[in-house]
Structure 1
Amino acid sequence: MKIRALTNHDWPVIFDIYAKSKLDELQNESQDFMLVPLEHDTQRLTELEESDVYICEHGKVMGFGAIFKNEIRALFVHPNYRGCGVGQTLLEKLQSVGQRTISLNVANSNSTAINLYVKNGFRFEKEFTANYHGIPVKASTMTKRLS
């Protein structure tokens, strides 16, 4: 697997991976969510555009991650490549560009992501109520002090 920086040519595949993955992080919530495609989600698209975005590929783009300053803002893996170490590889890259302490927000119901973060030394900092287009989602901020 190779990690590289996002190029403008990557946006269509980023939109595709997001569309195929976004609702998976909310699948254990008690209510149903409707996907707002990334290209129509002004807040989340702006957050990605101002971040450093990295692509994981092996012949095809398998996933992407984004970091802004010391905040991990995105970590998405195409469903076909889950369980292959893509998330771990991207998380390692994002940690390598962070400084001192990095943080991320995660839905409390997203046990798969939480397990990855805990395995990598992240700790729960605080709980809060986020929202996905007006629907409340219980979430947590997790942090990790870097060496």
Structure 2
Amino acid sequence: MIKIRPYFETDWEAVCQVHDRAQPGEFAGVSVPLGLTPLAQNPYLNKIFHPCRKFVACDGDQVVGFVAIYKNHITLLYVDPDYQNKGVGKRLLRLALNIIGSPAWTVVIAANHRARHFYAKAGFRENGKFESQVSGSTCQFIRLVRSQI
């Protein structure tokens, strides 16, 4: 049975493992010549992780997913590939939205149709596009916003 609880500093390595295992799916179809950046080496950790409220989904003692939120922004939401399509991400998102309220927003890679569909089912709508560098490659991103439904 999956339980969701607040993040503890002792979860850091497990959260990194979940992120790093799930990240290839996020970038499917995107050419990143320098390879993907592990969470522990992400240069934006002080924006997207450290100042955030964080929660982890656990199967027993094993962290299998996590969400990080800052004000009304879902900065990170990852589920280990072995636990995807089992409702873990949906539960983490529901928790984040209960805390954030409306409006809520996040950013996804434009080519990540799975994430776009996941957020669309929760009422998020496209609210702009932009490009940014990821590991030496220019990637297209989409900002998604959810207003009160």
Report the TM-score range of the alignment, normalised by the length of the smaller protein. Answer: over 0.9
TM-score (normalised: structure 2): 0.91
Higher relative CO (CA 8 A, sep ≥ 6), structure 1 or 2? 2
Structure 1 unaligned blocks of 5 or more: none
Q: CA deviation at 1:32?
A: 4.5
Note the 1:96-115 alignment, pairs <5 A.
Answer: 96-115=98-117
| 1:94 match | 96
| 1:39 match | 40
Aligned counterpart in structure 2 of residue 79 of structure 1, from 78, 81, 95: 81
1:134 and 1:10 mapped to 2: Cα distance?
A: 29
Instruction: Please provide the CA RMSD for this pair.
Output: 1.5
Q: How many residues align?
A: 147
1:33 and 1:108 mapped to 2: Cα distance?
A: 19
| 2:15 match | 14
Q: CA deviation at 1:91?
A: 0.6
Map Cα deviations across residues 12-56 of structure 1 (whole Å, 9 max, x no partner).
Answer: 101111111112201112455512221122313552011111101
1:30 and 1:40 mapped to 2: Cα distance?
A: 19
For 1:18, the aligned partner's letter is: H
TM-score (normalised: structure 1): 0.92
